[in-house]
Amino acid sequence: MQKRLVKKILSPVLVLMLALSLTGCGETSEAMQGITEKIQNLDYQGALEDLQLAQESGEDLRLCERSRGIAYIGLSMYDEAIEAFLRCLSLSDGFPREMDYDTNFYLAAAYTKSGRYEEALKVYNAILDLDADRENAYFLRGNVEMNLGMTNEAIKDFDQAVKMRPKDYDMLIDIYEILQYFGQTDAAKNYLHQALSAEDKDMDPYVTGRIYYYLGDFQKASIALEEAKDKGGEKSYLYLGLAYEAIHDYNYAASVYNSYLGKYEGSAQIYNQLGLCELQKKEYLKALNAFQTGKQLNDSTMQQSLCFNEIVAYERLGEFETAYELMGEYIRNYPDDEQAKREYEFLSTR
């Protein structure tokens, strides 16, 4: 546990899941809105309990099953999530609507999260057979195909996604990360080089700096990001700090993060990175404060990282009993983290 830090960037599949609407199409009742709020606040068990009551009181069964599936995904109960989404889809009238597409995206994500890539591939195939303009499906199908070893097919799908959204640089970087993860370094960098060679006049310094960061040219990245941060963008500060972290200048990286926090509203991701820098500097109390302050912002996309890193800080401070108690709570909230389970056993011996 001493050396492990939670990933700071969510997988593209999970990012898309969080981006999808939790309420579906059309208006929803007050009860369903309350359930949606609980899901957004990570109270998945409470959402499931309310869903049972909502279903018994006559709420739309399709919405109940769909929300139940989303809550199960939050609890890493992927088999149960898949069953809920399939029940939701079985209640369709046979005419594909936005809710059907949305539910299928969640179903495919649940298959992907559970490692059932072939089933996920079938879902994405079905989505694109019905609507070939769903560019997200090309990108996500490419991710699944990479997991199945279908590299050529994946690159074809990535190319199609880029063709449909040529200036979606966030997606471009996601493609880079997926290919890089699977060892396709040349193909991964090719997407970034193509973006730079296109000389897009609308590409702002933030995008340029981020691309240079992923290409490993941290000097050019920092120059572009210094310009970008003057506009006050949170992500510009984030990537500028990351560029300095990459060359192990944790003091300057921490100053970048503190500069942002001194000027703008709090950011859970900035607090997380600041805490990681303080850990590297062996300023463990400062790190703990950063992680705990970040947690108070209730950013669902960062909460797992902040919770784990808080435990790391307590362990570095020698407060093993507190670390052990928090790790038990962490495992209950994130039961699919196998390494955390092993470290929980380690903490029990301290």
For the segment 239-258, what is each residue's pLDDT rounded down to a tens digit? 999 999 999 999 999 999 99
Confidence grade of residue 232 (pLDDT, cut at 50, 70, 90): low
Nearest to 191 by CA among 170, 175, 208: 175
Confidence grade of residue 31 (pLDDT, cut at 50, 70, 90): confident
114-123, 154-163, 258-267, range with the lowest pLDDT: 258-267
Assigned CATH topology for domain 12-113: 1.25.40
For the segment 179-219, what is each residue's pLDDT rounded down to a tens digit? 999 999 999 999 999 888 877 777 888 989 999 999 999 99
Helix, strand counts (H, E) of the chain: 20, 0
Q: Are 323 and 315 in contact (CB under 8 A)?
A: yes
23-27, 68-72, 276-280, range with the lowest pLDDT: 23-27
Helix axes 135-147, 169-181, angle to 10 degrees: 10
Q: What is the residue whose two structure tokens read 């490993």?
A: 216
Cα separation, 150 vs 145, in Å, equals 5
Q: Which residues contact 60 (CB under 8 A, 6 or more apart)?
A: 28, 32
62-76, 107-121, 191-205, 232-246, range with the lowest pLDDT: 191-205
Q: Are 181 and 189 in contact (CB under 8 A)?
A: no
Asked if pLDDT for residue 56 goes beyond 90, the answer is no
Average pLDDT over residues 261-266: 88
12-16, 172-176, 262-266, 309-313, range with the lowest pLDDT: 12-16
Q: pLDDT above 70 covers what percent of the chain?
A: 91
Asked if pLDDT for residue 144 goes beyond 80, the answer is yes
Q: How many CB atoms lie within 10 A of CB 185?
A: 11
Q: Which residues of 110-149 are buried (b: 16+ CB within 10 A; e: fewer)?
A: bbbbbebbebbbebbeebbeeeeebbbbbbbbbbbbbbee
Q: Are 260 and 267 in contact (CB under 8 A)?
A: yes
Q: Are 259 and 273 in contact (CB under 8 A)?
A: no
Phi-psi region of 319 (alpha: psi -120 to 50; beta: other; left: phi over 0): beta
Residue 273 vs residues 192, 206, 317: alpha-carbon distances, Å: 24, 18, 19
| pLDDT confidence of residue 300 | 79
Q: pLDDT above 90 covers what percent of the chain?
A: 63
Nearest to 224 by CA among 244, 245, 206: 206
| pLDDT confidence of residue 70 | 94
More confident residue, 218 or 99: 218
- Token pair listed for 330: 């962490």
- DSSP helix, strand, coil percent of the chain (3-state; round to 5): 75, 0, 25
Average pLDDT over residues 155-178: 93
Query: What mean pLDDT, rounded, does the chain reach?
Result: 87
Q: Are 249 and 233 in contact (CB under 8 A)?
A: no
- Token pair listed for 289: 């404060």
91-105, 110-124, 173-187, 335-349, range with the lowest pLDDT: 335-349
Question: Residue 344 CA to chain centroid, in angstroms?
Answer: 24
Q: Are 298 and 324 in contact (CB under 8 A)?
A: no
Q: How many residues does the chain have?
A: 350
